[in-house]
Structure 1
Amino acid sequence: MKKNTQTQEFNDILADENSVASFNYTAYQSGTLEVQFTINNPQVFHSSDGPKNDMNDLMEAALQASKDKLSTYVATEN
């Protein structure tokens, strides 16, 4: 059996030192990507550029992690 290694990241997105959202992802060795994004203070999140920019940066990092995992993945033969 081949192990499917993964990378996980859990991040809070802050505005004025208060958590306004969370962004969590798991990138698997096969390139599969699971993302959970939750906005828990929509008024502050949508009225500030900082949290939106942070979310965009985190999404780019998640996509890159998926791409990096896939680049080293070798599918098993059935």
Structure 2
Amino acid sequence: MKKNTQTQEFNDILVDENNIASFSYTAYQNGTLEVHFTINNPQGFHDSDVPKNDMNGLMEAALQASKDKLSTYEVPEK
């Protein structure tokens, strides 16, 4: 049996040392991507461009991790 290795990353998005959002992802060896995004403080998140820019960078990183995993994936033979 071949294991489906994965990469996991967890990030808090901070504004003035306040955790206003959380972003995590798991990229599996076959390219599957699982993302969780939670806004903990809607007012703080929407009132600033900083967390939105951070989130965009984190999403780009997650998509790249998925692409990198898929590029080395070999479909197992049955």
TM-score normalised to structure 1 length: 0.98
Distance, in Å, in 2 between the alignment partners of 1:17 and 1:52 is 16
- Give deviations 1:38-64, integer Å, cap 9, x for gaps: 001000100100000000000000000
SS of structure 2 residue aligned to 1:7: strand
In structure 1, the partner of 2:5 is 5
The residue matched to 1:3 in structure 2 has which SS?
coil
Q: Distance in 1 between matches of 2:30 and 2:71?
A: 9
So what's the TM-score if we normalise by structure 2? 0.98
Aligned to 1:66: 66
Q: Which amino acid aligns with 2:24?
A: N
Task: Return the alpha-carbon distance in structure 2 between the equivalents of residues 14 and 51 of structure 1.
Answer: 7
Query: How many residues of Structure 1 are paired with residues of Structure 2 in the alignment?
Result: 78
Identity %: 82
> Runs of 4 or more off by more than 2 Å in structure 1?
none
Residue 15 of structure 2 corresponds to 15
Unpaired stretches in structure 2, ≥5 consecutive residues: none
